[in-house]
Amino acid sequence: MWRLPRALCVHAAKTSKLPGPWSRPAAFMSTLLINQPQYAWLKELGLCEENEGVYNGSWGGRGEVITTYCPANNEPIARVRQASVADYEETVKKAKEAWKIWADIPAPKRGEIVRQIGDALREKIQVLGSLVSLEMGKILVEGVGEVQEYVDICDYAVGLSRMIGGPILPSERPGHALIEQWNPVGLVGIITAFNFPVAVYGWNNAIAMICGNVCLWKGAPTTSLISVAVTKIIAKVLEDNKLPGAICSLTCGGADIGTAMAKDERVNLLSFTGSTQVGKQVALMVQERFGRSLLELGGNNAIIAFEDADLSLVVPSALFAAVGTAGQRCTTARRLVMDRPGNYVEPTIVIGLAHDASIAHTETFAPILYVFKFKNEEEVFAWNNEVKQGLSSSIFTKDLGRIFRWLGPKGSDCGIVNVNIPTSGAEIGGAFGGEKHTGGGRESGSDAWKHYMRRSTCTINYSKDLPLAQGIKFQ
């Protein structure tokens, strides 16, 4: 799904002396954007010149102080003191203690807390969306839309809090009941990427909370102010309800914190959003301890336009999917496959490559679109599926048979399979995620809540006999 450059990879970049925001000259207090009158609104989010990047019921941080920058002009915004390994240890302990309280609260009551979080975010939607635009770099309307997505998933989670649970199954034994019981996993670690610094955390946080879990968040270092601002909003809701703040903990940091989370057996589920390369490392570290991971990794998404496609839909869809969020969405369209030639706007369009060119099979986090021509349906479906990633895909056609072949077992092998809409812009009601090198994880809607819980099959004998399954009798 989304890449995580400059997050878990910060340590590698430092040691290899690659340029990055951590290597820029220190900014004096007077030059920080937060001190300039036109950016006074940042203080409405509780931000200041130097912000503490650790929250576990109280704010702190004993790690490195970093400066965050506006990517549009490299102007320094403010500073954040990151977590040390000692801060991380303390935060995990407090989160585990907070879970003992949170797990005992009925799910609908937990949903009420999530509803209040959504309302608090809604009150700050414009100013928080402005911070997303300033620190991450996407346009304002997308920044506000990202906060809206967190609000929407909170609303969704409130209803879900009254619906989670398992079935009562018929037992083959008389006087027995068979029940599927779902319980929270415990502590959910959430590592998010720079390109969606609010929404992806929201997907995980809202659903994990109503399931009875506590959360530990590590956002990308380059969007640390957003992580702090969001956590301040949540912390106020928890405080107002006299609940432990460690239910939603925060440890801003780099590779040391991310690695600690991946290796920590106390982290019952680790949700990682980032590049396929780093995701492999995370998956191996988690699997080595037989832990659970939820991976949302890279995408290499195709739009296929057939001869009967409605061009009034294709053109705006391809434009949005290719260049929206500066091409930095996991669902960004990388490949446009047409059945005939056309006229295209340079420089974001690349033509003349073979469909299996190595660069066309690599996720490029930029608004670059590779255009190909196909001969028939079977060929173009195969091209869609030949890349290693399997996140999002879309066809444009009016042929009903083709649509259902596209949705069927010999059609798209992606987790998101669209018809006559772009590859980007998923709704929160459906499960979000992909197959193959995209990681296989699912977040947001549908039954994605099951990732955040553990399942028990429970057999209850309410009779006075002891019949065995499969009719086994010992003489």
Residues that are catalytic:
296
- CA atoms of 232 and 131, how far apart (whole Å): 14
- CA atoms of 475 and 471, how far apart (whole Å): 12
- Kind of pairing, strands 392-396 and 416-419? parallel
Q: Are 301 and 391 in contact (CB under 8 A)?
A: yes
User: What does R_g of the chain's alpha carbons equal in angstroms?
Assistant: 24
Helix or strand (DSSP H, E) at 293: strand 292-296
Residue 427 tokens read as 């709704």
User: What is the dihedral sign for C-alpha 59, 64, 65, 66?
Assistant: negative
Q: Looking at 61-208, which runs of residues are DSSP E strands? A: 65-70, 75-81, 168-169, 176-184, 187-191
- CA atoms of 350 and 431, how far apart (whole Å): 32
- CA atoms of 217 and 150, how far apart (whole Å): 15
- Kind of pairing, strands 435-436 and 389-390? antiparallel
Q: Which of 205, 232, 203 is nearest to 53 (CA)?
A: 232
Contacts of 82 (CB under 8 A, 6+ apart): 53, 54, 61, 63, 64, 65, 66, 221, 224, 252, 253, 254, 257
